[in-house]
């Protein structure tokens, strides 16, 4: 039976234009810009300087605290500078510029396609290697994976949920990965289960990917404790709390982490990265990126080295269409509009969406008619119309009481509002202020 989460949700047009396009390896770029902050947490500290020769897979920035992670070079060549440049946020971020020379990999990385099934390391060793390999959540949140695998004191993980939902319209990178790297993902899941010490894992996949559901179901037969759960297509099912709710029926309490209900969620892409890190000794420096959009000549899925400029991907997909109005890093619901084609692919880049001019402008804002659609689609059971007003009028104490911090910024409210009101814009503003208020109280 199809499951889904219990509260709210929307179903935007899926537009999975690139779902039948095999993952192609993108040709090596001439230069890369690798930001040192590609994850949630403290930025890594650069350990190379101008003029250094680096190899593929070499650590170029070191993890600076527990919630942080290593950054590896995705290419071989010469470091030209360590400087600031804009990433997808639009703000200048520190990173390492490398001019590509050849493609020389670090020794010890297994570049063969052979599947390594045998697991020869123990749990703590797996966590350590994940940390060293710079693995973060590849679904987009980029939370360092090793942190998730070590539950806080007094809490115990019971189940591993693998996120193959890909509920964002247009994106197909996880879908393709599940179809083309199913065996590797299954081994990755085994590794994650071993690291967490759990004997149960569920792969959640939305029903618009029947081929992936079928394939992974077949693979599951060979593994104990791993199963596939088909899910009704409903955005934002890929949200951690929504996925847990859909699969287990449990609700993560307000302000708590998934581990509070015994769950840890990892993306299929993360599971694949874990496989590569441990079985192939290959750190995380490349990922699958969907390049898509209604005007794109060849919607594609590329295996891309981190640090590659957006322009290279667009070129490979047939070039920038004349009437492009907006370029989004990520999906249309939660992705970020980027201002420049120089923005690099990072560990969290799941796709590039090119929107045509006519799709790029927002509609005129009209008066709220109190239709309550925002309230009924909110997956967190909040009242976006009220939170927007509280943000707008800067009534932050009340906003906190109305649980503004529970908002996961999925955008369902703004998407559905018939008056095209910028609900999420004001809620984000409110969240920023309330968050600061809460932090100052703790001090």
Partner 1 sequence: MSKLLTVSPSPHVHSSESTQKIMLRVVYAMIPAMIWGIYMFGLDAVRIGLLSVLSCLAVEFLIQKYIMKAKPSITDGSALITGVLLAFNVPASLPWWIIIIGAIAAMGVGKLSFGGLGSNVFNPALVGRVFLLISFPVQMTSWPVTRMMEVDAVSAATPLAIIKEGIKNGIPVSQLQRLPNLSDMAIGFNHGSMGEISALLLVLGGLYMLWKKVITWQTPVSIILTVLVVSGIFWVVNPEMYVNPVYHIFTGGLMLGAIFMATDMVTSPMTGKGQLIYGIGIGLITISIRMFGAYPEGISFAILIMNAFVPLINMYIKPKRFGGQ
Residue 427 Cβ vs partner 1, minimum distance, rounded to whole Å: 10
Measuring CA to CA, which residue among 295, 344, 278 is closest to residue 89? 344
3-state SS, residue 230: strand
Q: Which residue bears the tokens 């942190």?
A: 147
- CA 321: distance to chain centroid? 26
Q: How far apart are CA 246 and CA 230, in angstroms?
A: 10
Residue 228 Cβ vs partner 1, minimum distance, rounded to whole Å: 25
Question: Which CB atom, from 224 or from 366, has the smaller least distance to partner 1?
Answer: 366
Question: Which CB atom, from 77 or from 236, has the smaller least distance to partner 1?
Answer: 236
Stretch binding partner 1 (CB under 8 A), from 40-48, 94-102, 133-141, 357-365: 357-365
Residue 10 Cβ vs partner 1, minimum distance, rounded to whole Å: 7
Residue of 418, 432, 436, 438 that binds partner 1 (CB under 8 A): 418
Please give the full DSSP string across 60-121, using - where no structure is assigned: EEE--SSS---EE-SS-EEEEEEEEEE-TTSSEEEEEEEEE-S-PBPTT---S--------S
Residue of 196, 268, 338, 399 that binds partner 1 (CB under 8 A): 338
Q: According to the binding rule CB under 8 A, does residue 197 interact with partner 1? A: no
Q: According to the binding rule CB under 8 A, does residue 335 interact with partner 1? A: yes
Q: Which of residues 138-177 bind partner 1 (CB under 8 A)?
A: 169
Residue 406 Cβ vs partner 1, minimum distance, rounded to whole Å: 7
Q: Which residue bears the tokens 């794109």?
A: 296
CA atoms within 13 A on the CB side of 436: 6
Residue 387 Cβ vs partner 1, minimum distance, rounded to whole Å: 12
- What is the contact mask toward partner 1 in residues 227 to 266, using x (rule: CB under 8 A)? --------------x---x-----xxxx-x----------
What count of other Cβ atoms lies within 10 Å of the Cβ of residue 113? 7
Q: According to the binding rule CB under 8 A, does residue 419 interact with partner 1? A: yes
Q: According to the binding rule CB under 8 A, does residue 207 interact with partner 1? A: no
What count of other Cβ atoms lies within 10 Å of the Cβ of residue 195? 28
Question: Which CB atom, from 144 or from 348, has the smaller least distance to partner 1?
Answer: 348
Q: Which of residues 375-404 bind partner 1 (CB under 8 A)?
A: 375-376, 378-383, 385-386, 403
Q: According to the binding rule CB under 8 A, does residue 372 interact with partner 1? A: yes
Q: According to the binding rule CB under 8 A, does residue 321 interact with partner 1? A: no
Question: Which CB atom, from 159 or from 382, has the smaller least distance to partner 1?
Answer: 382
Question: Which CB atom, from 149 or from 333, has the smaller least distance to partner 1?
Answer: 333
Question: Which CB atom, from 275 or from 385, has the smaller least distance to partner 1?
Answer: 385
Q: According to the binding rule CB under 8 A, does residue 420 interact with partner 1? A: yes
Residue of 43, 144, 204, 332 that binds partner 1 (CB under 8 A): 332
3-state SS, residue 376: helix
Q: According to the binding rule CB under 8 A, does residue 370 interact with partner 1? A: yes
Q: Which residue bears the tokens 């799941």?
A: 350
Q: According to the binding rule CB under 8 A, does residue 428 interact with partner 1? A: yes
Stretch binding partner 1 (CB under 8 A), from 91-99, 142-150, 223-231, 417-425: 417-425
Residue of 125, 342, 393, 436 that binds partner 1 (CB under 8 A): 342
- Contact (CB, 8 A) for 355 and 324: yes
Query: Quick one: tokens of 98?
Result: 């490398």
Question: Which CB atom, from 125 or from 342, has the smaller least distance to partner 1?
Answer: 342
Q: Which of residues 71-130 bind partner 1 (CB under 8 A)?
A: 90
Stretch binding partner 1 (CB under 8 A), from 60-68, 212-220, 276-284, 328-336: 328-336
Residue 334 Cβ vs partner 1, minimum distance, rounded to whole Å: 5
Handedness of CA 279, 98, 297, 89 (dihedral sign): positive
What count of other Cβ atoms lies within 10 Å of the Cβ of residue 355? 21
What is the edge-to-edge ordering of all strands in the sheet holding 351-356? 23-25, 300-305, 286-292, 351-356, 324-329, 336-338
Provide CB contacts within 8 A for 391, sequence distance 6+. Answer: 399, 404, 426, 427, 429, 430, 433
Q: How far apart are CA 111 and CA 293, in angstroms?
A: 32
Number of residues that bind partner 1 (CB under 8 A): 72
Residue of 207, 340, 393, 438 that binds partner 1 (CB under 8 A): 340
Measuring CA to CA, which residue among 231, 199, 195, 237 is closest to residue 212? 231
Residue 357 Cβ vs partner 1, minimum distance, rounded to whole Å: 8
Question: Which CB atom, from 189 or from 261, has the smaller least distance to partner 1?
Answer: 261
Query: Quick one: tokens of 389?
Result: 């007003």
Measuring CA to CA, which residue among 193, 163, 159 is closest to residue 261? 159
- Contact (CB, 8 A) for 67 and 40: yes
Q: Is 186 left (phi over 0), alpha (psi -120 to 50) or beta?
A: alpha
Kind plus residue range of the DSSP H or E element containing 424? helix 423-442
């Amino acid at each position: 039976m199809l499951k889904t989460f219990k509260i709210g949700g929307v179903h935007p047009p899926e537009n999975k234009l690139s779902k039948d396009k095999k993952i192609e390896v993108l040709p090596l770029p001439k230069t890369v810009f690798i930001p040192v902050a590609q994850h949630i947490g403290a930025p890594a500290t650069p350990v190379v300087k101008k003029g250094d020769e680096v190899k593929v897979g070499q650590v170029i920035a070191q993890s600076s605290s527990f919630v942080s992670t290593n950054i590896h070079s995705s290419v071989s060549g010469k470091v030209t500078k360590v400087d600031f440049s804009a990433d997808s946020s639009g703000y200048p971020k520190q990173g390492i510029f490398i001019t590509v020379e050849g493609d020389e990999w670090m020794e010890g990385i297994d570049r063969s396609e052979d599947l390594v099934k045998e697991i020869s390391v123990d749990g703590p060793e797996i966590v350590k290697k994940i940390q060293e390999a710079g693995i973060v959540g590849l679904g987009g949140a980029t939370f360092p994976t090793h942190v998730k695998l070590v539950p806080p004191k007094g809490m115990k993980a019971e189940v591993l949920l693998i996120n193959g939902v890909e509920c964002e319209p247009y994106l197909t990178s996880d879908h393709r990965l599940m179809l083309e790297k199913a065996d590797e993902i299954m081994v990755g899941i085994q590794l994650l289960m071993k690291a967490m010490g759990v004997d149960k894992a569920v792969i959640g996949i939305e029903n618009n990917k029947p081929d992936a559901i079928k394939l992974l179901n077949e693979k599951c037969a060979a593994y104990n404790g791993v199963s596939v759960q088909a899910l009704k297509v409903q955005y934002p099912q890929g949200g951690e709390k929504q996925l847990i709710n859909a699969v287990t029926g449990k609700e993560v309490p307000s302000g708590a982490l998934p581990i509070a209900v015994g769950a840890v969620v990892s993306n299929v892409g993360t599971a694949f990265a874990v496989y590569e890190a441990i079985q192939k000794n290959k750190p995380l420096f490349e990922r699958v990126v969907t390049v898509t959009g209604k005007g794109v000549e060849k919607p594609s899925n590329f295996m891309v080295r981190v640090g590659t400029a957006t322009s290279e991907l667009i070129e490979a997909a047939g070039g920038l269409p004349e009437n492009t109005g907006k370029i989004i890093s990520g999906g249309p619901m939660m992705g970020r509009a980027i201002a420049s084609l120089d923005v690099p692919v990072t560990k969290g880049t799941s796709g590039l969406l090119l929107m045509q001019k006519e799709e790029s402008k927002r509609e005129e804002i009209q008066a709220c008619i109190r239709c309550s659609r925002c309230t009924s689609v909110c997956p967190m059971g909040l009242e976006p119309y009220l939170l927007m007003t509280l943000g707008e009028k800067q009534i932050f104490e009340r906003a906190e009481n109305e649980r503004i911090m529970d908002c996961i910024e999925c955008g369902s409210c703004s998407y559905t509002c018939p008056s095209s009101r910028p609900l999420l814009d004001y809620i984000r503003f409110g969240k920023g202020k309330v968050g600061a208020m809460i932090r100052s109280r703790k001090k």
